[in-house]
Chain A
């Protein structure tokens, strides 16, 4: 894939997984992303997400850091360890420098604050999609 491949085009090729337990947010994202034609799966918590990742190829994960069950950073590390070519965008409603940097150190692609600016998140998804596709091309070629 060339560097200039349109970001949206990349986004349309990927399988996106949203891991969040907030119903309103999931609804909003579902509406926007499905309207754009992006293939989206949703998990309630980290354990569900890991199960889904085992069963299906996922290119980009959007993950809330504050969910019941597993600590978000732990979950992120597990995902990156097992599927290093998958890009992860982390979300949080509790901005903290520590968690932000810990997320980046654990291999997150980007960091997004709640309440979400949907356009901004979509932009990040497109960039992450582009990166994920390049990863795959490089990783397999």
Chain B
């Protein structure tokens, strides 16, 4: 018979006195209690793991950092596994009396699994489609880019190159035939995205996998047939193979230039070029972009477009609503030859500002250096503006259009997509900077408004990328899309070439990253490691950090806003986070009322404490195990001995106990800290703050301070000679102290956990900050996630540990009911100084 069976038998006997033996011996009771205590500790550990994972999910939603399905799935799984453990342990402690929780849990598990799985259905369709058969309706099959182009080609007066699309059905066939999905997922799930080296290595492995897998023969033959059809109409035909991802170009996420284009492809290299384009979905920059913008890898299925190459005499980009100029104008960037150098930002371009209204008068000419802007006549510029406005009218939103003109003067549209919605206008009117000796550079064009400061890091190679520090100023020669993975980490972007039309400039606007382009000599003047402030609006770079410029800088937009991954997170959090069961005294505080995982966690924690220490009447099992501690503070402290915690002379039949009867060194240290400085009672709040606090309290039923139930609640010390665990309610939130003071260094530690509260988010964060500062001051190591704090010290000498326990004792008493005053200006500073001073005096006193 295992101990579990024996315990169950004992508990059953206790619950059904008619069959119970007369009495359990003290040893057996002790043994039973120790087992239950073990389950209780397992429950507490699972409880704090759950809260940590929940806080990570909430923080990810709030701060908009890189979110991925892998992250969400992993954290949800941790939450579920730990809640499962909590329920199991509670039922062990309570002899299965809370089995109803399992139903609530199963329901939530099913709903969360469904949300995480997402909708799997996809359009099935033809493998290859000629461009003249494609319109917006086929976007789910051909990707946005080819769907838009096909649709544009159907508009009267607009010419597009002939070509065909390789659809998502073709990609799926290829991937499924080679079992690429599970293989790729396996690699991605093990990727450490924060580690650029790992990202590069695994990205390389995935691309290699795709490039070396054979195409299904039926697909291969269809591709050749379509190519031969093109070649029949255009002898010597060369093609461009371009990416066209599903979900790409949706307005709020441009995927600008992230994927691959193969130019000048013939029949012999066509299949390899196709596979190279599909593989480019997994370049490091594309993987990190999808993560940063919240796209699932599987949602952005890659398709490809095969377009006949146009021999271009002049090419360019048109923004039908100017990014930097007046709102009634459009931008036209152009340079001789193909368009690649313009969107790569490697070539200097001519730039015209043209009226959006017909007859499209040219408002301003900004000629490029090195003759970059040669070769476009005014008549062609006007015609391009007209085409641009026609496309804007057709698609119903300002467009970003790539175009080329062939030697015969025929004008081709190569791509048309909406300008990303967040492409906030860069500074239209640039104020010349006042004379300032701190100015290092001035000039260039603003890619994205705002100011950023940090260490200069000049990036020339992939190896430089790996060394790029967080929040550094990214300085590059050319704004190539290769640098895209660094945008999320950078404080600002500076490039010697490029324009606001380049891909990297587009991406910088999406990320709200201040960027300054076409600033010659930037890589010479700026020195690696030096601190600078880049003010993109005034196109000026200053030496050092200039706070007033940074303060004027608007907060960055959350790049995840509106993304599918963010939506999944919002939906699963609805099943995880909200806390509906707040009042243990309410009749609604019942297993059947648990609607979220947080409800279950809260319910189980409460019931576990009750079952462990407060259920004397029901089970008669540990009646008398808890002793009320004699104390002058208006709080109830109860003590439970797990072995050796009381002095041998203590009379175990007593209902109360004095501190002098406690043999547990960690507890005595905490107790000393609690009593070292008299508590003045709750601090007084100003009326406004108090009103807002009462409002918040009223909004969360069960937290009514007028009941002063918080003061009457029981707080339990569990102890042995060297170990102490204190669960305490600090006003409206829980804290837990666990400490071990063994003979060996490795047996000495303190863990302090703290979470929650009734106050508003600002106050909670401020209170956490206050605690963090004080605890750090006294040598604690802090982990903070959202409003959850864990503080630790370990492996120190006995004196150090005892002193740190006194610090916690002090804080346990003196941070009670601080919520009310934390909203007041200066409160944090006041209390921090006072706490540090008083604790310092306390520790020095001895």
Contact = CB atoms under 8 A, between A and B. Distances in A.
B185 A97 contact: no
Contacts of B2: 135, 138-139
A4 B77 contact: no
B647 interface: no
Interface stretch (A41-49, A50-58, A71-79, A88-96): A88-96
Given A3-B643, A3-B720, A93 B80 contact: no
A94 B189 CA distance: 6
Nearest to A103: B81
A93 B190 contact: yes
A101 to B, nearest CB: 6
A113 interface: yes
A93 B643 contact: no
A6 B742 contact: yes
Contact of A111 (B81, B744, B746): B81
A64 to B, nearest CB: 11
A6 B642 contact: no
B70 interface: yes
Given A93-B189, A94-B186, A115-B190, A3 B77 contact: no
Nearest to A98: B113
Interface in A1-46: 2-4, 6, 8
A127 B190 CA distance: 25
Interface residues of B, number: 36
A104 interface: yes
A37 to B, nearest CB: 12
A97 B80 contact: yes
A114 interface: yes
B740 interface: yes
A122 interface: no
Interface in B78-95: 78, 80-81, 84-85, 88
A8 B794 CA distance: 13
Q: Report the contact-size class of chain A (Cβ under 8 Å from the partner).
A: 20 to 34
Chain B CB count within 10 A is highest, among A2, A6, A97, A138, for A97
A95 B73 contact: yes
Contacts of B747: 6
A66 B187 CA distance: 13
Contact of B37 (A3, A66, A96): A3
B394 interface: no
Contacts of A111: 77-78, 81
B190 A96 contact: no
B722 A94 contact: no
B85 to A, nearest CB: 7
A6 B81 contact: no
A100 B3 contact: no
Contacts of B109: 97, 101
B642 A3 contact: yes
B73 to A, nearest CB: 5
A6 B80 CA distance: 29
B67 to A, nearest CB: 14
B192 A115 contact: yes
B466 interface: no
B77 A113 contact: yes
Contacts of A96: 73, 77, 116
B77 A95 contact: yes
Nearest to B187: A93
Interface in B641-692: 642-643
A121 interface: no
A104 B186 contact: no
A26 B109 CA distance: 32
Given A93-B190, A101-B80, A115-B190, A6 B744 contact: yes
B37 A104 contact: no
B112 interface: yes
A99 to B, nearest CB: 8
B430 to A, nearest CB: 46
B76 interface: yes
A127 B34 CA distance: 16
Contact of A95 (B3, B70, B186): B70
Contact of A97 (B77, B85, B189, B722): B77
B470 to A, nearest CB: 20
A96 B45 CA distance: 21
Given A97-B77, A139-B2, A4 B740 contact: yes
B723 A97 contact: no
A28 to B, nearest CB: 13
Nearest to B718: A3
A8 B746 contact: yes
A4 B720 contact: yes
A3 B34 contact: yes
B38 interface: yes
B185 A94 contact: yes
Contact of A113 (B37, B78, B723): B78
Chain A CB count within 10 A is highest, among B37, B38, B45, B81, for B81
A134 B642 CA distance: 16
A100 B88 CA distance: 15
Nearest to A4: B723
Given A4-B720, A113-B74, 14 more contacts: A3-B642, A6-B744, A95-B73, A95-B78, A97-B109, A97-B112, A100-B78, A103-B81, A105-B84, A110-B81, A111-B77, A111-B78, A115-B192, A138-B3
10 contacts: A94-B186, A94-B189, A95-B74, A97-B73, A103-B81, A104-B88, A105-B84, A113-B77, A113-B78, A139-B3
Closest 5 CB pairs of A and B: A138-B3, A95-B74, A100-B77, A95-B77, A100-B81
Interface of A: 2-4, 6, 8, 66, 93-98, 100-101, 103-105, 110-111, 113-115, 127, 134-135, 138-139
